[in-house]
Structure 1
Amino acid sequence: MVVQIIFVLLVVAGTALFAFNARKVIRNIKLGKAANRSDKPQERLMTMLKVAFGQTKMAVRPVPFLLHLVVYLGFVIINLEVLEIVIDGIFGTHRVFAGLGGLYNFLIGSFELLAAGVWLACAIFLIRRNVVKLKRFSGVEMKSWPKSDANYILITEILLMSAFLLMNAADAKLQALGVAHYQQAGAFPVSTWLLGLLPNNINTLIFIERFCWWFHIVGIFGFLNYLPYSKHFHIMLAFPNTYFSNLNPKGEFTNMDSVTNEVKAMLDPSFVPAETAPGKFGAKDIQDLTWVNLLNAYTCTECGRCTSVCPANMTGKLLSPRKIMMDTRDRMEEVGKNIDKHGADHQDGKSLLDDYISREEIWACTSCNACTEACPVNIDPLGIIVELRRYAVMEESVAPASINAMLGNVENNGAPWKYSPADRFNWAEGD
């Protein structure tokens, strides 16, 4: 009974702590401005099923796609066993679903094969990151914590799968020895190979089985509460992020109501714009971005696919789309901590633009949308870059000389070039 009480307290504490941290993340996302993403529900649902569940955008790189698919399926399916572990932990039973007979044997056998696949895939991912050192896993933003984060998760997955298989191996041996409480149940195609490593002493086997059982469940709740601090929160956020992703053609910029009304009033003197609260143009800090932009930042997997296809980054420019998303998330976290410590009205004198993302970065972007096309979970770094540019140009009138020259030409000549409209066809003379 004491063990059951300890288990219940673990489940309640682990779930409550996760809910507490998840609420902070949701609060931080809500710091952004309103954005209407309730249109086209069927198309949004299909996008989520295709991109988040089907992982279709990852298939561009077949090897990591297959490895990630194994880890993804393993994470989802193996954790179905958590239901049995929770019931056993609360009521003091052992393999409570054993009554399913052949179906139970099939499930446990399938879980073992998946666990072996997850173990192997995580080991390969570790080698790719730390031995092969693929270029897209490096960069100025991939230092210290971001670099260690992925390794921590991969090592944790390997340990959890090892504990699961070792638990089953000890269980199988205790079943073979006819120990009470360990009824004949389950099929063990993988853990059978571990039987030779285990002792024949019953007490030692029970200790190994119980230790691995506790390690597995404690590890799962530990992993759950690690997610809000990790890039691996995309395990949960990828689904709402793809559902609320931008369905408009890539490269189609959003119009600002204040500017649109200004133009309409110039063209039609009778036009009376609706009353709107005054606001700033573009974004200087996270509160000026939309909640969709902020959800994007929390969903970033830091995989580097966006940066690896960025033409500006390829040519040595300072821009890294991955860093844009990571900086936005870091700024959100900082603002959230300030709210917790000092209240909602606290101003720390910092902003996303300049303190986190430099002017050089935002003006290096070519607006080609290669990053948004490459992202496996439909994140849109360009959306943030454009808003930061808008602030610089429309609020501060600060832009690179080449941009100012182009804007001046548009204003004076009706085109980006320095030639007047009357001279546009001079190139054709003499033909």
Structure 2
Amino acid sequence: MIGQILFVLIAGAAIGLFSKNVKKIRRNIRLGKPLDRSDNPAERWKTMAMVALGQSKMTARPVAGFLHILIYLGFVIINLEVMEIVIDGVFGTHRIFSFLGGFYNVLIGSFEFLALGVLLACIIFLIRRNVLKLKRFSGIEMTEWPRSDANYILIAEILLMIAFLTMSAADYKLQGMGIGHYIKAGAFPVSSFIADTLPHNEAALVYTERFCWWFHIVGIFIFLNYIPYSKHFHILLAFPNTWYSNLKNKGEFNNMSSVTNEVKAMLDPSFTPPADAPAGKFGAKDVTDLNWVNLMNAYTCTECGRCTSSCPANITGKLLSPRKIMMDTRDRLEEVGRNIDTHGPDYSDGKALLGDYITNEELWACTTCNACTQACPVNIDPLAIIVELRRYLVMEESNAPASVNNMFSNVENNQAPWKYAPADRFNWAKND
């Protein structure tokens, strides 16, 4: 009974803390400007099913894709076993789903193979990051914390899988000895091979099984509450992020309603802007100027580096890194959220995403080719944030490179990006 009470207290505290942190993140995302992304729901469900559930874009890099799918399947399916552990913890039972008979054996057997697969995949990922040191896992934005964060998660998953298999091995051995409530239930194709490495003493086996049981479930609760502070929050946000992703042609710019209203007024003096028309502010300077999908994108980023490794500007040595754009946006949003918690919603710290986090040089290095969005496994759109920040520079601060300003002048004077007058536009086609 003491164990049940302790379990309920730990589970309640873990779920309560997780809910509190999720509410903060939801609050932060809602600081963004409104945006309607409810169009074409059938296409959106299809996109979510293929990209988030089906992991379709992960296979662009086959090795990493296969290993990630293995971990993903393990995470989803082994959670069925976690359901049983939770029920056992609350009611003091042991292997409550054993009444499923042969099907239960299939379940436990598949869990064990998946646990072994997740264990091996995490070890390979650790080697890729820390021994092979793949280039896309480095960069100026990959400071001590992002690198450590990835390693912490992989090590935690390895420990959880070892605990799960050791628990099963001890259970298997206790079942064979006919000890207490350890009824014969389940198939153990993996853990049975390590059972002989465990003690043969009954008390030691029971202690091992109970220790690993508690370590596994408490470890999951700790992992649950680590996720909101980690890049691995994409585990939850990948699904809504892909559902709300942009279905238009990649790189298509949206018309700014504030500009559209001004143009209409110029063309038609009788035009009256709608009463709910936005104020005449152009682009974004801080995270609160971005829309809520941009902010959700930032929280969804898993820092895999596929965007940056596909960016032609970054490849050629420019300062731009699309991954850094997303990480900076998330860091600034977290800072704004902490300010709200500490000082209230009207507090201003005098800082902004543009300038304090992202520099002009980074923004103007972007060619708007959209390679970053195409490469992202969960349809994050760094280009949308870059464009909004550049709009602010151009339309609010008149701050653009000389080459861009020359192009603007040519468009204004010559109706084309070039310096030639309209009357001379076809001179190149004339015969000598």
> TM-score range with shorter-chain normalisation?
over 0.9
User: What does residue 408 of structure 2 align with?
Assistant: 407
- Cα displacement (A) at 1:265: 2.0
Pairwise CA RMSD = 0.8
TM-score, normalization by structure 2:
0.99
User: What does residue 104 of structure 2 align with?
Assistant: 104
Q: Summarize the alignment of residues 356-375 of structure 1 with structure 2, pairs less than 5 Å apart.
A: 356-375=357-376
Q: 2:178 is matched by which residue type in structure 1?
A: G
Where structure 1 has 5 or more consecutive residues not aligned to the other structure, the ranges are: none
User: What does residue 93 of structure 1 align with?
Assistant: 93
- Cα displacement (A) at 1:279: 4.1
Moved over 4 A (4+): none
Q: Summarize the alignment of residues 132-151 of structure 1 with structure 2, pairs less than 5 Å apart.
A: 132-151=132-151
User: What does residue 157 of structure 2 align with?
Assistant: 157
- CA distance in 2 between counterparts of 1:279 and 1:65 reads 45
- CA distance in 1 between counterparts of 2:206 and 2:180 reads 11
User: What does residue 65 of structure 2 align with?
Assistant: 65
- CA distance in 1 between counterparts of 2:251 and 2:85 reads 49
Structure 1 window deviating more from structure 2 (280-289 vs 421-430): it is: 421-430
SS in 1 for 2:418: coil
- CA distance in 2 between counterparts of 1:279 and 1:414 reads 25
User: What does residue 355 of structure 2 align with?
Assistant: 354
User: What does residue 267 of structure 1 align with?
Assistant: 267
- CA distance in 2 between counterparts of 1:21 and 1:260 reads 39
The alignment covers a number of residue pairs equal to 431
User: What does residue 5 of structure 1 align with?
Assistant: 5
User: What does residue 178 of structure 2 align with?
Assistant: 178
**Alignment deviations for residues 129-167 of structure 1 (CA, whole Å, 9 cap, x no partner):** 111111000000111100111100000000000000000
User: What does residue 289 of structure 1 align with?
Assistant: 290
User: What does residue 428 of structure 1 align with?
Assistant: 429
Question: Does 1:46 pair with 2:46?
Answer: yes
Q: 1:319 is matched by which residue type in structure 2?
A: L
User: What does residue 313 of structure 1 align with?
Assistant: 314
- CA distance in 2 between counterparts of 1:199 and 1:257 reads 72
Question: Does 1:391 pair with 2:395?
Answer: no
Q: Summarize the alignment of residues 188-203 of structure 1 with structure 2, pairs less than 5 Å apart.
A: 188-203=188-203
SS in 1 for 2:219: helix
Q: 2:170 is matched by which residue type in structure 1?
A: A
Q: 1:369 is matched by which residue type in structure 2?
A: N
Q: 2:332 is matched by which residue type in structure 1?
A: R
- CA distance in 1 between counterparts of 2:152 and 2:273 reads 54
- Cα displacement (A) at 1:267: 2.1
Q: 1:186 is matched by which residue type in structure 2?
A: G
- CA distance in 2 between counterparts of 1:128 and 1:36 reads 40
Q: 1:395 is matched by which residue type in structure 2?
A: E
Q: 2:130 is matched by which residue type in structure 1?
A: N
- CA distance in 2 between counterparts of 1:132 and 1:74 reads 25
Q: 1:216 is matched by which residue type in structure 2?
A: H
- Cα displacement (A) at 1:392: 0.5
- Cα displacement (A) at 1:326: 0.2
- CA distance in 1 between counterparts of 2:83 and 2:365 reads 50
Where structure 2 has 5 or more consecutive residues not aligned to the other structure, the ranges are: none
Q: 2:302 is matched by which residue type in structure 1?
A: T
**Alignment deviations for residues 238-265 of structure 1 (CA, whole Å, 9 cap, x no partner):** 0000000011111110111111111122
**Alignment deviations for residues 391-413 of structure 1 (CA, whole Å, 9 cap, x no partner):** 01101111111111111111111
Question: Does 1:300 pair with 2:301?
Answer: yes
- CA distance in 2 between counterparts of 1:38 and 1:165 reads 44
- CA distance in 1 between counterparts of 2:338 and 2:109 reads 46
SS in 2 for 1:122: helix
- CA distance in 1 between counterparts of 2:359 and 2:33 reads 22
SS in 1 for 2:131: helix
- CA distance in 2 between counterparts of 1:226 and 1:417 reads 54
Question: Does 1:208 pair with 2:217?
Answer: no
**Alignment deviations for residues 145-196 of structure 1 (CA, whole Å, 9 cap, x no partner):** 0011110000000000000000000001111111011000110000011012
Q: 1:321 is matched by which residue type in structure 2?
A: P
**Alignment deviations for residues 59-92 of structure 1 (CA, whole Å, 9 cap, x no partner):** 1111111100000000000011111111111111
**Alignment deviations for residues 4-50 of structure 1 (CA, whole Å, 9 cap, x no partner):** 10000011101000000000000000010000011111111111001
Q: 1:307 is matched by which residue type in structure 2?
A: T
- CA distance in 1 between counterparts of 2:81 and 2:50 reads 26
- Cα displacement (A) at 1:270: 3.0
**Alignment deviations for residues 316-358 of structure 1 (CA, whole Å, 9 cap, x no partner):** 0000000000000000000000000000000000000000000
Question: Does 1:20 pair with 2:20?
Answer: yes
Q: 1:158 is matched by which residue type in structure 2?
A: I
User: What does residue 336 of structure 2 align with?
Assistant: 335
- CA distance in 1 between counterparts of 2:144 and 2:34 reads 34
User: What does residue 33 of structure 1 align with?
Assistant: 33
- CA distance in 2 between counterparts of 1:428 and 1:237 reads 55
- CA distance in 2 between counterparts of 1:18 and 1:316 reads 41
Contact 2:257 2:278 in 1 (8 A): no
Q: 2:6 is matched by which residue type in structure 1?
A: I
- CA distance in 2 between counterparts of 1:79 and 1:197 reads 27
Q: 1:100 is matched by which residue type in structure 2?
A: L
Contact 2:258 2:278 in 1 (8 A): no
TM-score, normalization by structure 1:
0.99
- CA distance in 2 between counterparts of 1:57 and 1:279 reads 39
Q: 1:124 is matched by which residue type in structure 2?
A: I
Contact 2:4 2:92 in 1 (8 A): yes
Percent identical among aligned pairs is 72
